[in-house]
Structure formats: structure tokens, C-alpha cells
Structure 1
Amino acid sequence: MTITVATFAWVPEVARGYVKDLRVRWALAEAGLDFELQLLGEGEPDGDAYRGWQPFGQVPAYRDDEVQLFESGAILLRIARQADALAPRDAQEAADIEAWMFAALNSVEPKIDALVHPGIFHAGEDWVAGSRPSAERLVDLRLKSLGRWLKGRDWLLTRFTVADICMATVLRSLEGEPVIGRHPVVAAYLERCLARDGFRTALAGQLETFGADAA
């Protein structure tokens, strides 16, 4: 099966290692599936051809011999169904994976983005400092709930799944933030995820893509 993943040909240095095609690369590495990159040059994300594939002009987008789709969560679920190492073992595990994927993307990620993004994209603006305490409180509540679930568990479910890939890439934005240090169970979970060979392969691949282009 031929798999193609679309990503940007170049991003600013601050984004390297964090562009969301990292999730897809990680899942493919865990699955042992090869893929080709389609690198989007300046203007291509806004072109009709790419918008017909990814309506919002974002990355990643995915295509194989049977389907094409967009949104990183949907892509992870597609990859999981193609690989024995990641495929759900029964209907309940499939449901649990989907639920935790939605939790990562809907319950956790927006709260983390609201804390982290202002300092990156609006650095120096007066309102940023004022918004931080409230944003950090909401992240704190999410991490408290997540830590309660993870206590006594290595992974979100009984084994590593694409739900962990999604959750770990969401949590990774908190590296260096004081809030995650208050939740050692969550911090240890993130460390376990990022220690996996699949993550290291994916990260190295993305950095090579952007670094080679920048050079």
C-alpha cells in the first residue's frame, strides 16, 4: 500500500518538531508502515488542488490506495486499522481508543493551547499576562483528572495505542511549563511516551524535513 502524507516544505524554527504531521509520522513508525511525503511549497496550501484534499489548508493530509482524508485524529484512526501493532483487538478497545482520541483533541488540547499559544503568538501584548492564571487553572483541572485516570497505568488503555500518540503530542506542548510539574503521574506518562522509538523516529524525520529545506 502506498501512503502519502502532506506537510509543509518549511516552517519557522519555533514550530519545528511540533507540526501535527508528527502524530502521523509517529503512528506510521509504530505500525512499521512506509510513506512518502508531499511537501507543500509557498502558496500551495491555499490552492484549489490542496483545498480539495484539506479544506482548511492545514497539515497533515493523508492518502493511501483506498482513501484520502484530513485531520490528524482521523488519520491516526485510519493508520491503526491498517496495522496489526495498532489495530483494536475488539469492539470495546476500538470504542475506548476513539473516546480517548476525542478527549485529547477536545477536552485537553484546547485548554493547553489557550495557555501556551498566547506567549508564542502574542508575546509582549498586554493581555497575555492577565489571561494566564485563568488558562493555567483550566489546564490544572484537566491534568488532575487525567492523572487520576493514569494512576497505576502505563498507558491510557491496557497497551500503547494511537490514543497515547494523540494525548502525548498534546501534552508535549507543556514541556517546560510549571503546571505539568504539579502532576507527576502525567509527567511520567508523557516521559514514557516520548521515550518510545517510534516518537524518536518521527521527530528526527520531521526535523530532517524542515532542516534540509531550510539549508
Structure 2
Amino acid sequence: MTPTITAFERSPDRGQGLARDMRVRWALEEVGQPYDVRFVSFRALKQAAHRARNPFGQIPTYEDGDLVLFESGAIVFHIAQQHAGLLPDDPESRLRALAWMFAATGTVDPPIMERSMVALFERDKPWFEERLRVVDERVRKRLDELSARLGDADWLDGGFSAADLLMVHVLLRLRSSGLLDAFPRVAAYVARGEARPAYQRAFAAQRAVFTAHAGG
């Protein structure tokens, strides 16, 4: 069967590839798995039909026969388990990749998302500058730690894996912040991820949705 994922009908990122269905699209492109997309409006996200797929009313979701999943990390992990190419064959290496998948979504992503929310919703508050400074320090700490881990390696642990896919997509949210400029190893790492043909195909597919609506 062809799996179906959900994505924003009108993404708030305006076609920048930051919405989290991008992670799932990228994973599917990496393994060569065709997929369908069900586009949902912000109103539909909160209705019973979608909450049956994701109780928190978010995207993406993934359906393949009777299997219904939510949370982008879990979906990417499932895809990586079902297809060759996104997880190492060696059991210990596979577990390390899984640890890095958790690190991407559970350790690196939270301060970056917090920064995005501060920049979006608190810019007009009297505490904005101080709050942003504090959050930026948290982000820089993670970037410094990640840079030290990467060293001169291309990827986190051996060859490219689902861990790199998730980590690169998390870091892409910093693209317009300027914070990556101080961490050339991390910036180069992100650029390597963006250069992958599967990423380019996934980005083009997500971008096309915004272009179609913008044109309409």
C-alpha cells in the first residue's frame, strides 16, 4: 500500500520547508517510497477526524493500512525500520542512531523551538531582548556541544542516517537567525543535509503546496 501523510493546507512557514511533515517527506524520499498527502486546514486539525489520528491536533500523521502514527520522530523511525538506508545494520550502531534521533527531537529541538516562539509571539513585549538573549545562550550551548561532537566528520555517527535527517531539519529553523554563523562545522553539516537529492525532492514537494496556494 501507499502510505498517506498529513500536511498543512496552508503552512505557516510560507514554503520554507520547516513544517514537520518535511521530515517524513524527506525520509520517504530517501528510501524511495511513494506516498500520498492529505492536506488539512487549521480548523480541520482540531476536529474529531484528525484528532483520531493525532490526539494533539498536529501534523504530520502517517497511515499505512491499519497503522496510524503521529509524532515526526516516531514516523521517521518506522520508515527507517521498514526500509534499508536510514539505519545501520549493526545493532549497536543502530542503537546509537536511535539515541541521536532522541537527541535531535528531545535535546536540540526544544530550545530552538522556544527561540522561534519568542521571536514570533513576544517581540512586542518589554522583556523581549532579555528573553531572547537567554534563549540564544541555550541554543548556542547546544550548537557548541554538537560542533564538538561532529568534529571533522560528515555525519553524527558513521554514514548518513535517520538521526542526521532529524538533526538537520531541527537545525534548519536557525537558518535566518544568524546563530549558525559562529559554528561553521554545524553550518556545513546542515548544508550537506540540504544538498542531498532526497531533501531537494521533499523540499520541492512541500514548497509546491505554498506556491499553489499563493498563486490562488
TM-score, with structure 2 as normaliser: 0.93
Percent of residue pairs bearing the same amino acid type: 36
- Say whether the 8 Å CA contact 2:50–2:57 is kept in structure 1: yes
| SS in structure 2 of the partner of residue 37 of structure 1 | strand
Q: How far apart, CA to CA, are the structure 2 residues paired with 1:39 and 1:116?
A: 24
Shift in Å at residue 203 of structure 1?
0.9
Aligned counterpart, 2:165: 165
Shift in Å at residue 213 of structure 1?
3.1
- Say whether the 8 Å CA contact 1:81–1:88 is kept in structure 2: no
- Say whether the 8 Å CA contact 2:119–2:132 is kept in structure 1: no
Greater shift, 112-121 or 101-110, is seen at 112-121
Q: How far apart, CA to CA, are the structure 2 residues paired with 1:116 and 1:57?
A: 20
Q: Which amino acid aligns with 1:169?
A: H
Residue-by-residue CA offset, 1:8-43 (whole Å, 9 max, x unaligned):
211235464211100000111111110000111352
Q: Which amino acid aligns with 1:38?
A: R
Shift in Å at residue 151 of structure 1?
0.4
Aligned counterpart, 1:90: 90
Shift in Å at residue 88 of structure 1?
3.2
Q: What is the root-mean-square deviation in Å for CA atoms of aligned residues?
A: 1.6
Shift in Å at residue 171 of structure 1?
0.6
Aligned counterpart, 2:148: 148
Q: Which amino acid aligns with 1:132?
A: L
Aligned residues, how many? 215
TM-score, with structure 1 as normaliser: 0.93
Q: Which amino acid aligns with 1:139?
A: V
- Give the gaps of 5 or more residues in structure 2: none
Greater shift, 112-121 or 193-202, is seen at 112-121
Alignment map for 1:202-213 (pairs within 5 Å): 202-213=202-213
Residue-by-residue CA offset, 1:67-108 (whole Å, 9 max, x unaligned):
210000000001101211224312112211211011111111
Greater shift, 2-11 or 112-121, is seen at 112-121
Q: How far apart, CA to CA, are the structure 1 residues paired with 2:88 and 2:53?
A: 27
- Say whether the 8 Å CA contact 1:80–1:88 is kept in structure 2: no
| SS in structure 2 of the partner of residue 38 of structure 1 | strand
Aligned counterpart, 1:27: 27
- Say whether the 8 Å CA contact 1:51–1:57 is kept in structure 2: yes
- Inter-CA distance 116–41: structure 2 relative to 1 (3 Å threshold): closer
- Say whether the 8 Å CA contact 1:6–1:62 is kept in structure 2: yes
